[in-house]
């Protein structure tokens, strides 16, 4: 029965893959004369399921597409193999927004929210605002309590909130993967954690803030804390991340981030047609999230009339 369900879900993925933007459409967007022209390409592609927008409100389109993808993932994913780890990222992102809204007394946080992950957004908001964490996971509850304590002591800055909840999120993800033991999903998160740590290290080094890196370091990757002592660019040559060395040596973080997204997509791309594995579903979700990020970036750059070559340099390898 489990295999039958997986085959059915992967058949649905094949139908959903028609929603990917082609390379030709992405390039057309990047070279559009205006934001309005770029949005027309999205609307012609029924982005966001054909949602109607006012003017150049591209965020409504992107949020609708993101919601559609997350809802599909929640419905189609097999349980207990680690795929819940993708959706819990949405929960922690929303938790950051809710906690900040609570302490900064923001009138609305809707613009900061992502689609629901494993938890209903309104219920999560209600729990946090009423200080009732009893039904949340132990890791999530402890993180919010730590923020509450810091707030009481006058130390709960936005950065502290982000850092505390990011670490809790990755702790939950690591725990999920240790139980599920799916090698592809485990590889995805280890790669994401390592590249996140490398990116943070480079940025902290530029501002000469080793303490910030120490506080921000995320456990769970293949590269432990000692890897970041000394010349990491030289060390990368002898690691599984050797392809990133050239971008770091050239201090080209745009190229680094482009390679980062490509590496994540490629983890699932090779087995995207294996209907008896989770690769088609996971690959679709990861690729769609990256596509939405690319489209948002293009829209922002078009809105600010940035040079087309700068936009082109930020494009990624596509899954379609």
The topology (CATH level 3) of 84-180 is: V-type ATP synthase subunit C fold (1.20.1690)
Cα atoms in the 13 Å half-sphere on the side-chain side of 272: 17
Q: How many residues does the chain have?
A: 320
Query: Distances in Å between the alpha carbon of 53 and those of 34, 50, 196, 218, 297?
Result: 17, 9, 34, 39, 19
**What pLDDT was estimated at residue 270?**
84
The topology (CATH level 3) of 1-83+283-320 is: Topoisomerase I; Chain A, domain 4 (1.10.132)
Q: Report the distance separating Cα 255 and Cα 262, nearest Å.
A: 11
Tokens of 226: 């000692």
**What pLDDT was estimated at residue 50?**
84
Cα atoms in the 13 Å half-sphere on the side-chain side of 64: 16
**What pLDDT was estimated at residue 1?**
33
Other residues' Cβ atoms within 10 Å of the Cβ of residue 143? 25
The string of pLDDT tens digits covering residues 165-180 is: 999 999 999 999 988 7
Query: Distances in Å between the alpha carbon of 65 and those of 216, 285, 293, 313?
Result: 31, 12, 11, 24
**What pLDDT was estimated at residue 137?**
96
Q: Report the distance separating Cα 278 and Cα 184, nearest Å.
A: 9
User: What residues does each domain of the chain span?
Assistant: 1-83+283-320, 84-180, 182-277
**What pLDDT was estimated at residue 5?**
82
């Amino acid at each position: 029965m489990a295999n039958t369900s997986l085959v059915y879900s992967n058949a649905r993925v094949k139908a959903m893959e028609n929603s990917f933007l082609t390379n030709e459409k992405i390039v057309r967007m990047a070279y559009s004369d205006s934001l309005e022209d770029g949005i027309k390409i999205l609307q012609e592609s029924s982005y966001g399921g054909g949602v109607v927008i006012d003017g150049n409100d591209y965020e409504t389109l992107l949020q609708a597409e993101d919601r559609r993808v997350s809802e599909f993932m929640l419905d189609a994913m097999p349980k207990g193999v680690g795929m819940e780890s993708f959706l819990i990222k949405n929960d922690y992102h929303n938790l950051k927004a809710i906690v900040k809204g609570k302490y900064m007394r923001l009138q609305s946080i809707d613009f900061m929210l992502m689609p629901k992950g494993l938890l209903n957004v309104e219920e999560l908001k209600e729990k946090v605002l009423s200080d009732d964490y009893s039904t949340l996971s132990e890791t999530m509850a402890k993180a919010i309590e730590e923020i509450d304590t810091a707030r009481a002591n006058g130390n709960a800055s936005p950065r502290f909130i982000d850092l505390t909840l990011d670490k809790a999120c990755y702790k939950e993800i690591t725990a999920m993967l240790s139980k599920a033991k799916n090698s592809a999903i485990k590889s995805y998160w280890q790669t994401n954690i390592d590249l996140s740590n490398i990116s943070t290290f480079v940025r902290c080094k530029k501002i000469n803030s080793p303490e910030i890196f120490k506080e921000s370091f995320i456990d769970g990757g293949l590269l432990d804390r000692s890897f970041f002592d000394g010349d990491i660019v030289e060390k990368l040559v002898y690691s599984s991340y050797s392809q990133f060395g050239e971008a770091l040596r050239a201090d080209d973080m745009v190229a680094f981030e482009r390679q980062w997204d490509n590496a994540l997509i490629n983890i699932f791309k090779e087995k995207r047609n294996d209907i008896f594995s989770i690769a088609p579903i996971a690959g679709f979700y990861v690729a769609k999230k990256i596509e939405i990020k690319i489209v948002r970036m293009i829209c922002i750059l078009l809105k600010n009339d940035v040079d087309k070559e700068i936009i082109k340099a930020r494009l990624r390898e596509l899954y379609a």
